[in-house]
Amino acid sequence: MRPGTREVDRLSKSLLRRAADRAGPGSRPASWLAGRRIARLGTSAVVVIAALLFPQFEGGNIPVMFLATTALTYGLVAIALNLLMGFGGQISIGHGGFLAVGAFTTAIVATHYHFPPIVVLLLAGLVTGLVGFLLGLPAGRLRSHYLAVATLGFGVAVPELALNMSLTGGFTGVIMPPQQVGSIQFNTPVPLYYLALALVATGMAAVISLLASPTGRRFRAVRDSEEIAPALGVNVPLVKLTLFSLSAFFTGLAGYVFALNNSIVEYSQFDFSLSLFFFAAVIVGGLASTWGPLVGAIALVIVQQQTTSLGGLSETILGAAVVLVLLVVPGGLVALPRLVLRLAAWVWWMAQRVLRRRTLPPPQDPVPAERAMGASEG
Amino acid sequence: MLTIDELTLSFGGVRAIDNLSFGVEDGSITALIGPNGAGKTSVLNVISRFYRPEQGRVIYDGVDVLRLRARQVIRHGITRSFQNVALFGGLTVLENLMLGADYQSRTGALLDMIRPPAVWRHERAGRRRATEVLEFLGIGGIAYRPAEELAFGERKLVDLGRALVPQPKLLLLDEPATGLVESQKAWLTGLLRRIPAEFGTTLLIIDHDMRLVLGVSTRVVVMDFGRKIADGAPAQVRENPAVVTAYLGTASDDAASGD
């Protein structure tokens, strides 16, 4: 046996064992998988029920309802942005611009035509989707930093355009007329909250459904390797166009809720910091996760609300919160439960080790290498 | 039948492929070998339309391959694996393989979002197909692991599997044995031999491992400095003095130990 062979053998054994440890479904016990599934379903059910019952408790509190609807609106934008960034790998720091297009479309169409709300809603989505498609034409040829700058330009340009066009009401903006289906007034807090909730649910369902489909795999294939994807028949420019259009469409739907929630749509609401807010919400919540963008948007809306009294400090605190989350949980807020569980498991394991060492005689291991391996993992 | 005719490709002043012509018979396992830098991978990249040659023709089943776009090549029954293993890291092994069949999906983004029965059917068929290929490769156990977590040997197999899922008529393999240990190479040799019969696939394999090539292939084309220096049955090529010179003797060593 050559010198060093045993070390190599020992190393490869420990690597194998670690591979078995970190493996996903298939190598994990069925009970563990079932437990995880139950935990996930249970959490989702609790969240959904809490969201449905929320107006029962806070329905009369108009500022709180305004904030809750704002959080859901931004949550939908973050979900749309996450589709583009997390699953499509295309960066955008201009989604405030898409939200503005959706909101202005809503207010303008509702002012001039007496369409039913569903038509206005769909128009807001489709017009914004078309703008996304048009932006996707040049943006589809750009990557990473260049794409970031291009979308930044879009995010800055839209409010400037709104300020300087008569169609968008210039400095004063456009007042949003009431929207009504039967006896339901969509410009009152509770119905609007439920509408926002329904749109968020639709957006999430659409993203989940897409991900487990040929289109969703193409998205992620382009994200992971644009160079290789064509060898599997993926039309990369088409994928990017689809991504931009879909993301803009859902952001446009959010624009409808935004217009109703704020009663007026004006250029100053779409300050560039709003685009950065959406970007931060996706990252803080958890890029490429299902719940992450919504969680991130709600968390940031709360942080922003709690710090408004501090004036200019608010933005600083928001920024600090983002940095803090990224330092502690790089996977975003949705990775927090797993981190806590791992930490608990580690503490439990360490405690057992310490206790065993105190109470039992040293183990009689026939293979000294095994013990060395175990120790090296501590 | 794949025909490559007077192909020339240059990078700046370097001739990567120099007036190269050869054919690949249907049902054969053809090996394209040569020392490092001989231009083998460039030939593959030309066929899969990643590189644009200055001149020459590539005809497959009457189709002018050089008129296709890179993404259309798979539709004509040609797939490939990659030398440096290019899996989609964020996708699971199963998803990587299912992507191999996704070019056949006729539903667009909107229908995929609403999921009519056609999408379910495609997904079911794709999953079954991918699972079959994973079983064939003996790596059914890692189906749900993210590709980025895999060990190198596993990645090579997943890369091969992804190219097999569409049941290609012509499969281009770029150094399938690189990075594998000897026992794995022997096992891979057996596996590759079974592919033409089980999948109805013609193989064009690039490698510089003479033992693997001579063990697998029915025909060998040898390249050096972008030119073809030998072409024929494995036994003939092994004796060819030009080949021995190109490999500076290592070839004959390898060949001898391979007997």
Amino acid at B125: A
- Tell me, what's the ipTM? 0.89
Residue B8 CA to residue B4 CA, distance in Å, equals: 10
Residue carrying the six token digits 């503005």: A100
Convert the pLDDT of each residue in B47-61 to its tens digit: 999 999 999 999 999
Say what the pLDDT of residue A367 is.
Answer: 53
Convert the pLDDT of each residue in A223-261 to its tens digit: 999 999 999 999 999 999 999 999 999 999 999 999 999
Q: Measured between alpha carbons, how far is residue B183 from residues A199, A271, B85, B209, B212 in Å? A: 56, 63, 20, 14, 12
In SS3 terms, A214-277 reads as HHHHHHHHHHHCCCCHHHHCCCHHHHHHHHHHHHHHHHHHHHHHHHHHHCEECHHHHCHHHHHH
Residue B104 DSSP code? G
Domain ranges within chain B, ordered by starting residue: 2-86+167-258, 88-149
B74, B107, B149 ranked by CB distance to A214: nearest: B107
Range of the structural domain that residue A207 is part of: 43-328
Residue A71 CA to residue A74 CA, distance in Å, equals: 5
Backbone angles phi, psi at B256, to 5 degrees: -60, -45
Say what the pLDDT of residue A30 is.
Answer: 66
Q: Is residue A15 part of a domain?
A: no
Interface check A232 vs B, CB under 8 A: yes
Alpha-carbon gap: A173 to the closest alpha carbon of chain B (Å): 34
Q: Is residue A102 part of a domain?
A: yes
Task: Determine, for residues A224 and B89 on separate chains, whether the beta-carbon distance falls below 8 Å.
Answer: yes
Q: Is residue A167 part of a domain?
A: yes
Structure tokens at B153: 């040997």
Interface check A12 vs B, CB under 8 A: no
DSSP B150-210: S-HHHHHHHHHHHHHTT--SEEEEE-TTTT--HHHHHHHHHHHHHHHHHH--EEEEEES-H
Return the residue of A nearest to B70 by Cα: A230
Q: Is residue A164 part of a domain?
A: yes
Global pTM exceeds 0.95: no
CATH 3.40.50.720 assigned to domain B2-86+167-258? The reply is no
Interface check A30 vs B, CB under 8 A: no
Say what the pLDDT of residue A366 is.
Answer: 55
Alpha-carbon gap: A136 to the closest alpha carbon of chain B (Å): 16
Amino acid at B167: Q
As a dihedral over the C-alpha atoms of residue A74, residue A79, residue A81, residue A82, rounded to 10 degrees, the angle is: 140
Return the residue of B nearest to A232 by Cα: B100
In Å, the largest CA–CA distance within chain B is 64
Task: Determine, for residues A224 and B98 on separate chains, whether the beta-carbon distance falls below 8 Å.
Answer: no
Return the residue of B nearest to A87 by Cα: B90
Task: Determine, for residues B113 and A227 on separate chains, whether the beta-carbon distance falls below 8 Å.
Answer: no
Say what the pLDDT of residue A179 is.
Answer: 86
Our count of domains for chain A comes to 1
| Residue B7: strand pairing partners | B20
Which run of H or E residues covers position A181? strand A180-181
Which regions in chain B score pLDDT beneath 70?
Answer: 248-259
B75, B103, B115 ranked by CB distance to A213: nearest: B115
Say what the pLDDT of residue A25 is.
Answer: 43
Q: Is residue A238 part of a domain?
A: yes
Q: Is residue A243 part of a domain?
A: yes
Q: With contact defined as beta carbons under 8 Å apart, do A55 and A64 qualify?
A: no
Spell out the per-residue pLDDT of chain A, length 378, in tens: 344 445 444 444 444 444 444 444 444 556 767 787 888 889 889 999 999 999 888 878 888 999 999 999 999 999 999 999 999 999 899 999 999 999 999 999 999 998 999 999 999 999 999 999 999 998 878 887 888 889 999 999 999 998 988 888 888 889 988 888 888 888 888 999 999 999 999 999 999 999 989 999 999 999 999 999 999 999 999 999 999 999 999 999 999 999 999 999 999 999 888 999 999 999 999 998 889 999 999 999 999 888 888 877 878 888 888 888 888 888 888 888 888 888 888 888 888 888 877 666 655 555 554 444 444 443
